[in-house]
Amino acid sequence: MKVSLFITCLSDAIYPRVGEAMVRLLAAHGVRLDFPPVQTCCGQPSYNSGYWDETRVAAKTILEAFDDSDFVVCPSGSCTYMIHHYPELFADEPVWLEKAKRLEAKAYEFTQFLVQVLGITDLGAHFPHKVTYHPSCHGSRLLGVKDEPMALLSQVKGLELVPLPFAEDCCGFGGTFAIKMSDISGAMVTEKVDHVKETQAEVLVGLDMACLMNIAGNLRYRNEPVRVMHLAELLYEGVRTG
Amino acid sequence: MVTEHQQWLAQLEKKSIEKQEQFMNDIASKLRRPRQRQAPTQPFRGAPDFWTELEWDEEKRIQAFTDNFVSVGAHIARVKNMEEVSQFIANKSRELSARYIIRQNEQALKDLGLEEQLPEVQISVWNSQADENWKARAAEADIGVVMADYATAYTGSVTVLSSPEKGRSVSLLPTVLIIIIPVHRLYTRLGETLDRFDEVGRENLPAGIHFISGPSRSSDIENDLTIGVHGPGIVYGLIMG
Amino acid sequence: MSQPGVMDTTVKERAGLALNDDFLRKAVKFTTERLRNGKKSASEEHGNWDEWRERGRQIRLHTIAHLDYYLNEFVNNARANGVHIHFADTSVEAAAIALDIAAHKQASTVVKSKSMVSEEVHLNHVLESAGIEAIETDLGEYIIQLAGEAPSHIVIPAIHKNRYQIAELLSKEAGEILEPDTTVLAGFVRKKLREKFLEADIGMTGCNFAIAETGSMVLFENEGNARMVSTVPRTQITLMGMERIIPSWTDLEVMATLLPRSATGQKLTMYMSGITGPRRTADADGPDEMHIIIVDNGRSLQLGDPEFQELLNCIRCGACLNACPVYRHIGGHAYGGTYSGPIGAVLTPALNGNIDEWNDIAGASSLCGACYEACPVKIPLHDMLVYLRRRKVEDGHGNKMESMGMKGFAAVVSNSKSFSAAIRLGQIGQKAVVRNNGISLKLGPLKGWNNYRVAPSLAKKSFRQQWNKLDQELNEKQRAMDSSVRSRMEQIIREREEGEGKKHGH
């Protein structure tokens, strides 16, 4: 059984601890992730801006990396969802199209993998803090990840979950949108952080480092001491210290 | 004798019929297929099946209609028969110091005997004679009285159909609108009324079919709700039976 | 299609203006939240919302796929009812036909109810240039007409104006000072427009839906002005987008369920009117003469285009505007066209048939998908925005700097060697600017980001640099997989191979 880690370029270069947390958590349940190094990036940045040739270059590394995996696990809803665009991108290339369709069927976002595939919601974590949760747009709206993170959070001992007002509103990242339309994006992330502050939570947890990086950046800019974590990191810390 | 205007309209029609073929052919060619000339089978027509099974009993229909109607700022009164309707209208008229009332030219409304009950009020009967400016009569009326042709409990709506005897203006122009709703005309779903119009067919439809669900309203100024913008601001529904 | 002079500015600039207008932002936020909450309650209360959406989508898809049949039926039936039908390929033609009719009726005053199409074809401007008074009668439209502005929201056009501004406008019209009180202001408009309704020569309407099988047109409204303009004046002219067709009255139940709830959270608008032809000979109200102008103006360009044909499903409810976080911050005028919000961002370039002119509109989105989630007929606007961006690049109109950047990106991600090398380069290069694991530098591409954030630094060691060590460590503490977990996973693989796998994603 080959279960592979799709690390995402962001976690690879900036947040390796997310990958480490996933690998260790799953190893504790007897699931050893392997890491095919051929993978680089899912191609979202170029896809969203309309540069599909460049996207295919990136996508091919992903298709190649996971060609013979049985399961692929990814700490990002948007990168996992990006794979669902691959059949469209390779509609005219039958060899790659076939790989794309197979990958679509076996790629899972992290919480989907834990809950749907492994059937696990209680990892034995203890995390006695006030936490609020931001549901990333692509993961929740497009990939349909809504119940799984809730199921996992509800089993963490000592964790007080405070609802985030207007949680479903976009944080304003949108990839190159944050650079190209920086003032609109800035207004959106400012509003998101205003809502985070309202909860008075100690920790903001999420499923996508792109969103979390964006929100953390504004929190830090405004000297707010809220800790920002990926759910994998939270669960791993909860298991390690619990 | 054909007027110049009619000639012009006839010319336009000729142009329109020619243009029609072109227009539709263009659509078909963009869809990359020949013209669709036969009615296609609709895979999904109307509301989902589970919805068409919804049917409430009379008590529930009356309650739902009342709740909906009242929630938008209209008023409901429960009356047993047309005598009580007549009483209600007469009382209301005196309460509001109405000077002008307009009603549809229906036998049932004639039988209300409003003219006898309210001799001091000028009561117009829609289109009851030629050479009268009926729209102006409706515009000056304090109260308009109509009878619902159908009503829908789920949305709190009444439906009125136009005819030579039933003006569209009577339920639109007066300040106050009183609608008599015979309970046997109150259905559960909107579709029950809408389906009828498919059933009777094009030639049997009136010019105006109006669904009214409450008083005229707008929130266009700073999201602040205001009632009675163009249509009647005060609406009474008399559920009868 | 556009406001005069709007091409001279970019979306970014117009958005900047909006972002600095505190009242506008508060007003747009308040309005969209109210409408969004209304929709949420109304759709939840009604229940099975997704099934209704799918139904609405299927009915619209089917109608558009057979538009030549249904539109043709509508035209023939409407004509049989006594309606005069006209076809306009372009906005210029549509306005010209309307003007022609008005001129023939020697009209001096036209009263209008809400019609986005009439805004699209700049009808008021055309009528006024010919000396015909064209009066908007929808309260919000009347206000912005007096102000000489375009609507900033499909459903509530004047949300960008406060009551003081409105009182000022209406006082000028009244010739006396009116208090900035909603009831007073609305009362004045009711009285003033009453006169106009009764004396106008022509009433003009838009068209929410047109029923093919009976040649009837349907209007949804709350104020009563659409009924007014289609009942009182002796001539009626209706402007109708060619795609506004549904087959039957029973199909109207689905639209009547989706539209009001999506637009404002109402079960039904106060008035829903089905008009089947001009007045009958013996009727004492209703128009003597009725015209319907069927407008193309770029709609047919979407037919046969698998990426954009679904755009024609739109029922103009405005739910996407209320759901859109970008719209909430910048309001409607920043979009620069008749239609704003997510639908406007796609419709404007699509109807115009050229993306270049509207080059940045499709860029004003984070692709969050809230519009798609809100749409009662499930139009994938978030996908269409990406298609627009792609077409612009394919047409060779992509931003030069961005194209170069993307080529660089492709070079870096083309294989793991260059990817690793790029990361290593970054790890070294960033040393000069990293402070406490963060980068605050506001230079170059970082400027936009760091105006609002502190950027993160690259990790000292990337995941792939640490992998071998981690992998080895775990080899030493090997733990067997739980047998029940293993059988679950094997079952999933089996189902997948048999093609019965549960779809776990979208």
Where do the domains of chain B lie?
1-31, 54-240
Query: Which residues 84-123 of B have a C-beta within 8 angstroms of C?
Result: none
- In a mutational test of the A interface, the residue from C372, C413, C488 whose CB has the highest number of chain A CBs within 10 Å is C413
Domains in chain C, please, with CATH?
6-300 (3.40.50.10420), 400-503 (no CATH)
Decide if C415 touches A, using CB distance below 8 A.
Answer: yes
Q: Which residues contact A164 (CB under 8 A, 6 or more apart)?
A: A132, A133, A134, A195, A196, A199
Q: Determine the residue of chain A that is closest to C399 in CA distance.
A: A49
Provide the shortest C-alpha distance from residue B47 to chain C (in Å).
6
Residue C367 has pLDDT above 60, yes or no: yes
Mutate to test the interface with B, among C179, C285, C291, C295 (most CBs of B within 10 A): C285
Nearest CB neighbour to B211, from listed C166, C268, C280 = C268
Q: Which class for A38: exposed (0-12), middle (13-18), buried (19 or more C-beta within 10 A)?
A: middle
| pLDDT confidence of residue C243 | 97
| pLDDT(C2) > 50 | no
CA dihedral A151→A157→A158→A164, nearest 10 degrees, is -10
Question: Any CB–CB contact under 8 A between B191 and chain C?
Answer: yes
> Residue C249: is its pLDDT beyond 80?
yes
pLDDT 10s digits, A116-129: 999 999 999 999 99
Confidence label for C12 from pLDDT (cuts 50, 70 and 90): confident
Give the separation between CA C390 and CA C395, rounded to whole angstroms: 9
Strands of the C271-275 sheet, one edge to the other? B186-187, B150-152, B157-161, B208-212, C271-275, C216-221, C209-211, C245-246
Task: Write down the mean pLDDT value for chain C.
Answer: 92
Where residue C155 falls among pLDDT bands split at 50, 70, 90?
confident
* Touching partners of B (3+ C-beta pairs < 8 Å): C
Instruction: Give the E-state strand segments of C355-403 in sequence order.
Output: none
AA identity, residue C163: R
Cβ C439 vs Cβ C457: under 8 Å: yes
Kindly indicate the confidence band of residue B202, based on its pLDDT and cuts at 50, 70 and 90. very high
**Lowest-confidence pick of A207-211, B129-133, C127-131, C392-396:** C392-396
User: Cβ C409–A45 below 8 Å, yes or no?
Assistant: yes
**Residue B213 near chain C (CB below 8 Å):** yes
Tokens of residue B122, six digits: 């000028």
Substitution target in B190, B221, B224, B226 with the highest count of C β-carbons within 10 Å is B221
User: How many angstroms separate the Cα of A132 from the Cα of each of A16, A164, A240, C81?
Assistant: 23, 6, 21, 61
B158 touches chain C (CB under 8 A): no
Confidence label for C358 from pLDDT (cuts 50, 70 and 90): low
Whole-Å CA distances, B213 to B162, B177, C40, C494: 17, 12, 21, 56
Share of chain A above pLDDT 70, in %: 100
* Residue C374, token pair as written in the block: 């809100």
Give the strands of the sheet with B176-182, arranged side by side.
B75-79, B234-240, B176-182, B143-147, B100-103, B122-125
Q: How far is C163 from chain A (nearest CA, A)?
A: 26
Whether C5 shows a pLDDT value over 80: the answer reads no
Quick check: C416 and A178 CB within 8 A?
no
Predicted pLDDT of residue C17 = 84
User: B216–C80: do the CB atoms touch at under 8 Å?
Assistant: no
**What torsion, rounded to 10 degrees, do the Cα atoms B209, B215, B219, B225 define?**
-170
Does B129 reach chain C within 8 Å, measured CB to CB?
no
The per-residue pLDDT for C133 is: 96
User: Which of C389, C415, C449 lies at the smallest CB-CB distance from A179?
Assistant: C449
CB contact under 8 A, A50 and C390: yes
At C307 the pLDDT is 95
Q: Residue A213: which residues within 8 A CB-CB, separation 6 or more?
A: A10, A14, A15, A173, C456
CA distance B213 to chain C (A): 5
| Contact residues, chain A, for C477 at CB < 8 Å | 27
Three-state SS sequence of C145-210: HHHCCCCCCCCCCCCCCCHHHHHHHHHHHHCCCCCCCHHHHHHHHHHHHHHHHHHCCEEEECCCEE
* Nearest CB partner across the interface for A174, out of C366, C402, C493: C366
The CA-based diameter of chain A, rounded to the nearest angstrom, is 52
Who among C140, C247, C282 is closest to B220 (CB)?
C140
Mean pLDDT of the region B126-143? 95
Range A177-195 average pLDDT? 94
| Interface-testing mutation among A33, A47, A51, with chain C (most C C-beta atoms within 10 A) | A51
Adjacent-strand bridge partners of C218: C209, C274
pLDDT single digits (tens) B78-117: 999 999 999 999 999 999 999 999 999 999 999 999 999 9
Say if CB C179 and CB B168 are below 8 A apart: no
Point out the least confidently predicted range of A206-210, C106-110, C472-476: C472-476
B71/chain C closest Cα distance in angstroms: 11
Residue C478's pLDDT band (boundaries 50, 70, 90)? Answer: confident
CA dihedral (B9, B12, B14, B16) positive or negative: negative
For residues B192 and B205, the answer to whether their CB atoms sit within 8 Å is no
pLDDT at C335 over 50: yes
Output the CA torsion A195→A197→A198→A200 (10° steps). Answer: 140
Touch test B–C: 3 Cβ pairs or more under 8 Å: yes
Do the Cβ atoms of C464 and A35 come within 8 Å?
A: yes
Amino acid identity at B110: K
C-alpha dist (Å) from residue A191 to A218, B87, C88, C333: 10, 58, 45, 21
List chain C residues with CB under 8 Å of A185: 366, 448, 452
* Pairs across A and C, CB distance < 8 A: 254
pLDDT given at position A22: 97
Dihedral sign for Cα C413, C414, C420, C424, please: negative
What architecture is domain B54-240?
3-Layer(aba) Sandwich (3.40)
Going by pLDDT thresholds of 50, 70 and 90, the confidence category of residue B2 is confident
In DSSP terms, B144 is beta-bridged to B102, B177
Torsion A226-A227-A228-A232 (CA) sign: negative
Start-to-end CA span in chain C (Å):
35
Contact check, Cβ <8 Å, A43/C413: yes
Rounded to 10 degrees, the C-alpha dihedral C219/C337/C321/A206 comes to 160
Domains of chain A, each with CATH number or no CATH: 3-117 (no CATH), 121-241 (3.40.50)
Beta partners for B235? B177
Residue in this structure with the two tokens 């006209």, named with its chain if needed: C86
Does C295 have pLDDT greater than 80?
yes
Residue C67's closest chain B neighbor by CA? B27
CA angle C48, C54, C58 (to 5 degrees): 145
**Chain C CB within 8 Å of residue B192 CB:** no
Q: Is the confidence at residue C64, as pLDDT, over 60?
A: yes
> Is the pLDDT confidence value at C7 over 70?
no
Three-class secondary structure of residue C457 per DSSP = coil
Across chain A, what does the average pLDDT equal? 96
Question: Which pLDDT does position C3 carry in this prediction?
Answer: 43
Q: Which residues of B touch C233 (CB under 8 A)?
A: none
Chains A and B touch (3+ CB pairs under 8 A): no
What does the pLDDT read at residue C395? 87
Q: Determine whether the interchain pair C182/B168 forms a contact, defined as Cβ–Cβ distance below 8 Å.
A: no
Measured between CB atoms, does B21 come within 8 Å of chain C?
Answer: no
Task: Please say if the pLDDT value at position A98 is more than 80.
Answer: yes
CA-nearest of A204, A62, A237 to A136 is A204
* Distance between C454 CA and the closest CA of chain A, angstroms: 5
Q: Is the predicted pLDDT of residue C269 greater than 70, yes or no?
A: yes
Give me the mean pLDDT over the C214-238 stretch: 98
Q: Is the pLDDT of residue C441 over 90?
A: no
Contacts of B212 in chain C (CB under 8 A): 270-271
What's the pLDDT score for residue C482?
Answer: 85
The span from the CA of A47 to the CA of C167, in Å, is: 49
Nearest-Cα residue of chain B relative to residue C166: B221
> Which of C16, C409, C477 faces A183 most closely, judged by CB atoms?
C16
Provide the sign of the torsion angle of the four alpha carbons B164, B168, B174, B175, taken in this order.
positive
Query: Which run of H or E residues covers position A135?
Result: none
Amino acid C354: pLDDT: 73
Confidence band, pLDDT 50/70/90 cuts, at residue C503: low
Within 8 A by CB and 6+ apart from B14, the residues are none
Q: What is the mean pLDDT of residues C122-149?
A: 95
- pLDDT band of A177, cuts 50, 70, 90: very high
pLDDT at C355: 62
Partner residue facing B229 (CB), from C62, C190, C248: C190
Coil vs helix vs strand at C6: helix
Would you place residue B1 in the very low, low, confident or very high pLDDT band (cuts 50, 70, 90)? low
Closest CB to A38: pick one of C416, C471, C489: C416
Q: What pLDDT digit, counting tens, does each position of C200-213 carry?
A: 999 999 999 999 99
Is residue B177 a contact partner of residue B236, using CB atoms and an 8 Å limit?
A: yes
